[in-house]
A and B are shown apart, each in its own frame.
Chain A
Amino acid sequence: MEKLAGQNKKKSFREPGTDSTYLIKTENLSKIYPIGLTTLTALDNINLAFVKGDFAGLVGPSGSGKTTLLNILGSLDSPTTGSAVVMGKKVETLTHREAAGLRNHHIGFIFQTFNLLPVYSVYENVEFPLLLQNFSSSGRKKLVMDALEWVGLADRAFSKPLQLSGGQSQRVAIARAIVKNPELVLADEPTANLDAENSRNIMDTMARLNENLKTTFIFATHDEKVMRYLKRIITLNDGRVAKDERAAGEGT
């Protein structure tokens, strides 16, 4: 993993005047959706900060705003009011192209349903984010194989996604998310489609990555098995932060 960490040195992406202490900082962030003549407040005045190496979870019942917040932190959506600064970039001011650039270079995504591209091999799925960054062929090969080794699937590099189990598929998705050595990984219910053993393997893998690479992980989950691994649990309720707790031994 050190090899993985050593690759892909990134240019500073940070906007001048933004606080470099935090990887992510939201201030009075709200998201309101118009529904017919009324509105739905999905997020209401969220003030949160995440530092490098956080292993945090957004928990709460359905409709509490977990995924909406994840969308905004991933620059897939922008707040209605307030601000979200992600790696020095104000999400609300980013153009589509800039948001795509932020995701491409700095954010990895892990989905509930893996979302691997079925016509491509495991290797090619993991390689895809690097193609967008114009890595050389040899550079890509090294990074892909490193990532696959980390998730324990180097021997399945040339298998097709359909030949993999659910747990293996999710590990490929993790490899795809970390291959570009992002500062931040966002995972939406990553264990929802997995059995207990596979869930544990997946969480072990991500915890190891967090430990070794100091990659920041933010989960949206209501899976107890995931919560046991989290160093920080942010409970959302009706779009508000109800609780923000750190596990014993974790600093603020």
Chain B
Amino acid sequence: MKCIKQEISFTLNGGAVCVDVPVTTDTLTMLRDRLKLTGTKYGCGEGECGACTILVDGVAVNACLMFAVDCHGRELTTIEGVQTEDGLSTMQRAFVSCGATQCGFCTPGLIMQGTSLLNRSPDISVEQIKRGIEGNLCRCTGYHKVIDAIATALDSNRSAPKEHS
């Protein structure tokens, strides 16, 4: 079986990356196996659970559904790129203080989804938050504290400058 590769370059967590990847590889596999960024999780591999959510040009995407070659020229943010110089981001801090993580496996995906919501519209309702994380499955928390955390982060971001794009 011949493996056709393609060289791509993109921005990853603020730095330039240039890699050659098999054209059949998905972005999740590239991030985890090739670039060793294991914070993005494999939960189902078919876009149903949201554990692999990353930001592509600021918008939440299931990394398992995106071909790696389609990252060319784009700007990717993974959970490893969310922290600020001061430490945890507002969203990450809210997940800690609100008790939004239990086993933690879905947490990186939910934080990326929450960050995407925050980037898109700082003034969204609790119902919109629920709709926004509909594609992220969590088996531990029952979602209540996740919704609290995202609402808390949105609240504190309204009174502070935008920290991440």
Report whether chain A binds chain B.
no
